[in-house]
Amino acid sequence: MADIQEPSFRESVDIMVKRAMALMDLPPGLEEKIRVCNATYTVRFGVRLRGEIQTFTGYRSVHSEHMEPVKGGIRYSLGVHQDEVEALAALMTYKCALVEAPFGGSKGGLCINPNEYEEHELELITRRFAYELAKRDLIHPSQNVPAPDMGTGEREMAWIADQYKRMNTTDINSAACVTGKPINAGGIQGRTEATGRGVQYALQEFFRHPEDMKAAGLTGNLSGKRVVVQGLGNVGYHAAKFLQEEDGSKIIGIIEHDGALFDENGLDVEDVRAWIGERRGVTGYPKATHTTDGSSILEVDCDILIPAALEGVIHMGNAANVKAPLIIEAANGPVTAGADDILREKGCVIIPDMFANAGGVTVSYFEWVKNLSHIRFGRMQRRAEESRHQLVVDELERLSKDSGIGWELSPDFKERYLRGAGELELVRSGLDDTMRAAYQSMREVWHSRDDVTDLRTAAYLVAIGKVSASYRAKGL
Ligand code: NAD
């Protein structure tokens, strides 16, 4: 490995962006403007814990403000550093553009291992971090709206929302300062699982296109497909669970921080998740083969590989050994630019991160709109919809009876037809529509241009095209 020049995460994003820009006809200077990160704020703050002051380092990076607010998660991990946050902020810009969420790109991170702290300590740390960001408008409903990412979830988002509210007591839109909140703190149904759900919808859309399946040498549908997932956290767990329970896929490998589980006949995702919940890892799980070298399972024979943990896990050192014909990047940046070249050469199809994990920001967008409109989706229409459907059912039953035909609507049809869409149904519908439309915009470029041979370049072309149109409309 020593003599291999592996690009860093930020360099990888840069290489991929430049590759796409080389195929575009952007005005001089605009390329640079779009590519570079506008600003990164670094904060160091102290919190009194366990009788002493501990100092923490956090970042909030703003990549592009062509649309505001800017949007992007907050990550808690010891691996957080400025380059990583900037790479993630850049990806957010392109992701939002691709799925038409009206935001610029941002990202935040706190250099911390959350497992080392008690809940009340994490609350103190999170509130202090939120205070530092909010007082510089780096948390703000119309300027910068964070969301969960690795190591954070709805609990942290609720603390952030409350901290902002305490600092801005008269802001009627304060709940919109952060997304991914719990329902009882202004959240939206379906946000927790949104990124994993989006991964499922992305795969379902891929399998609707025989030409695309052919590119990966796959046939049929998701049923029975052998899947390996890396990271059974928020994103990986939900993606694996939905694929197993609803699409009939077989989860044959689960890779975690302490090794991997493998069973050719399929693992029970819920069971493994429960085990991890209790023991903080997969070690000792009795119903599958455990290997301590987790990354070796990235190389097993399978149909779909879902890296859903960290960046850079498929690199120039292992890419040639990866056998999956289809990789869907549920994590951000799991494939380095060098590995991307090797995999493309091998004919592996990669569904890129900026699309694959966009379900989170899509439903965050819905949550933000809900917070600003101060009303739950479906509240006004649901019963009206049900009444109209009831009219149709009554009329059909009357006609059947009066004409003597004697048709009967099945109870299942009636139940499903009569049920008006509530918030969860509407969120799923909006997410599915978004993922389908974004996939179609990428594949159209992929198949219509001879100089575009992969979905990632296609995704960048669509996204950068939208960002540049936005800058040009502003007169840049
Ligand atoms: P998470 O913290 O909920 O889960 C991460 C999982 O990965 C954990 O189970 C952890 O134990 C595991 N893990 C850590 N190190 C590992 C290693 N070396 N090998 C294998 N597994 C390891 O995080 P998440 O929210 O699911 O995020 C995962 C990825 O998805 C990140 O790249 C994140 O940026 C991306 N993402 C998340 C969201 C979201 O809504 N949460 C949205 C878009 C993208």
Distances (CA, A) of 51 to 11, 45, 121, 131, 136: 41, 16, 12, 22, 29
Ligand 1 pocket test, pick from 235, 237, 279, 329 with the greatest ligand atom count within 8 Å of Cβ, gives 235
Residue whose Cα lies nearest atom 27 of ligand 1: it is: 150
> Of 130, 160, 184, which marks where a domain is finished?
184
Q: Which atom of ligand 1 is nearest to the CA of 310?
A: 32
Closest residue by Cα to residue 178 from 39, 341, 367: 367
Lowest-confidence segment of 8-12, 144-148, 260-264, 366-370 by average pLDDT: 8-12
Whether residue 247 contacts residue 204, with contact meaning beta carbons closer than 8 Å, is answered with yes
Has residue 400 been placed in a domain? Answer: no
Residue whose Cα lies nearest atom 34 of ligand 1: it is: 332
Structure tokens at 39: 């600003």
Structure tokens at 56: 């923490």
Closest residue by Cα to residue 254 from 271, 443, 187, 245: 271
The answer to whether residues 70 and 218 belong to one domain is no
Q: Which atom of ligand 1 is nearest to the CA of 235?
A: 26
Check residue 476 and give its pLDDT.
Answer: 76
pLDDT of residue 69 exceeding 60:
yes
For residue 349, the CA-to-ligand 1 centroid distance in Å is 22
Has residue 438 been placed in a domain? Answer: no
Closest residue by Cα to residue 236 from 182, 180, 183, 310: 310
Strand pairing class (226-230; 104-111): unpaired
Has residue 117 been placed in a domain? Answer: yes
The answer to whether residues 149 and 214 belong to one domain is no
pLDDT of residue 1 exceeding 70:
no
pLDDT of residue 3 exceeding 60:
no
Check residue 327 and give its pLDDT.
Answer: 98
Q: What's the gap between Cα 463 and its chain centre?
A: 16
Name the H helices within 27-153: 30-35, 82-98, 119-134
Four-point Cα dihedral 232, 238, 244, 249, nearest 10: -80
The answer to whether residues 163 and 242 belong to one domain is no
Catalytic residue among 71, 95, 107, 225: 107
User: pLDDT, tens digit, for every residue of 25-62?
Assistant: 998 899 999 999 999 999 999 999 999 999 999 999 99
For residue 305, the CA-to-ligand 1 centroid distance in Å is 15
Sorted by sequence, the CB contacts under 8 Å of residue 238 that are 6+ apart come out as 192, 193, 195, 196, 197, 199
Has residue 385 been placed in a domain? Answer: no
Has residue 433 been placed in a domain? Answer: no
Strand pairing class (70-77; 326-328): unpaired
Domain harbouring 134, CATH code: 3.40.50.10860
Provide mean pLDDT across the span 20-26. Answer: 95
Check residue 474 and give its pLDDT.
Answer: 84
Task: For 112, list phi and psi in degrees, rounded to 5.
Answer: -160, 145
Has residue 28 been placed in a domain? Answer: no
- The domain tally of the chain equals 2
Residue whose Cα lies nearest atom 42 of ligand 1: it is: 360
Ligand 1 pocket test, pick from 85, 112, 149 with the greatest ligand atom count within 8 Å of Cβ, gives 149
Check residue 93 and give its pLDDT.
Answer: 98
Q: Is 340 in the pocket of ligand 1 (CB under 6 A)?
A: no
For residue 16, the CA-to-ligand 1 centroid distance in Å is 22
Task: For 461, list phi and psi in degrees, rounded to 5.
Answer: -60, -45
Domain harbouring 291, CATH code: 3.40.50.720
Lowest-confidence segment of 20-34, 84-98, 112-126, 242-256 by average pLDDT: 20-34
Strand pairing class (289-291; 259-262): antiparallel
The answer to whether residues 227 and 296 belong to one domain is yes
Has residue 205 been placed in a domain? Answer: yes
Check residue 431 and give its pLDDT.
Answer: 98
Range of the domain at 80: 44-184
pTM beyond 0.85: yes
**SS3 state of residue 199:** helix
Q: What is the DSSP letter of 115?
A: G
Closest residue by Cα to residue 191 from 150, 144, 238, 223: 238
Band of the pLDDT at 4, cuts 50, 70, 90? low
The answer to whether residues 67 and 207 belong to one domain is no
> Of 304, 339, 359, which marks where a domain is finished?
359
The answer to whether residues 176 and 300 belong to one domain is no
Beta strands per DSSP E along 293-351: 304-307, 326-328, 349-351
> Of 359, 381, 404, which marks where a domain is finished?
359
Provide mean pLDDT across the span 56-80. Answer: 97
The answer to whether residues 233 and 166 belong to one domain is no
Q: What is the mean pLDDT of the chain?
A: 96
The answer to whether residues 111 and 158 belong to one domain is yes
Name the H helices within 9-118: 9-21, 30-35, 82-98
Q: Is 155 in the pocket of ligand 1 (CB under 6 A)?
A: no
Buried b (16+ CB within 10 A) or exposed e, 324-351: bbbbbbbbbbbbbbbbbebbbeeebbbb
Q: Is 310 in the pocket of ligand 1 (CB under 6 A)?
A: yes
User: Is 107 noted as a catalytic residue in this protein?
Assistant: yes
The answer to whether residues 219 and 351 belong to one domain is yes
User: pLDDT, tens digit, for every residue of 145-157?
Assistant: 999 999 999 999 9
Strand pairing class (104-111; 70-77): parallel
DSSP letters for 393-451: HHHHHHHHHHHT------HHHHHHHHPPP-HHHHHHHHHHHHHHHHHHHHHHHHHH-TT
Provide mean pLDDT across the span 226-239. Answer: 98
Has residue 416 been placed in a domain? Answer: no
Provide mean pLDDT across the span 338-355. Answer: 97
Q: What is the DSSP letter of 312?
A: S
Question: Could you give the maximum distance between any two Cα atoms of the chain, in Å?
Answer: 84
pLDDT of residue 2 exceeding 50:
no
Check residue 83 and give its pLDDT.
Answer: 96
Structure tokens at 412: 């299942």
Residue 72: beta bridge partners? 146
For residue 145, the CA-to-ligand 1 centroid distance in Å is 20
For residue 151, the CA-to-ligand 1 centroid distance in Å is 7
- The whole-angstrom separation of Cα 460 and Cα 334 is 17
Does 407 or 239 have the greater pLDDT score? 239
Q: Is 259 in the pocket of ligand 1 (CB under 6 A)?
A: no
Distances (CA, A) of 241 to 25, 193, 238, 415: 43, 10, 5, 26
The answer to whether residues 150 and 272 belong to one domain is no
User: pLDDT, tens digit, for every residue of 358-406?
Assistant: 999 999 999 999 999 999 999 999 999 999 999 999 999 999 999 999 8
The answer to whether residues 332 and 212 belong to one domain is yes
pLDDT of residue 320 exceeding 90:
yes
The answer to whether residues 207 and 355 belong to one domain is yes
- The whole-angstrom separation of Cα 317 and Cα 339 is 8
User: pLDDT, tens digit, for every residue of 106-136?
Assistant: 999 999 999 999 999 999 999 999 999 999 9
Percent over 90 (pLDDT), the chain: 97
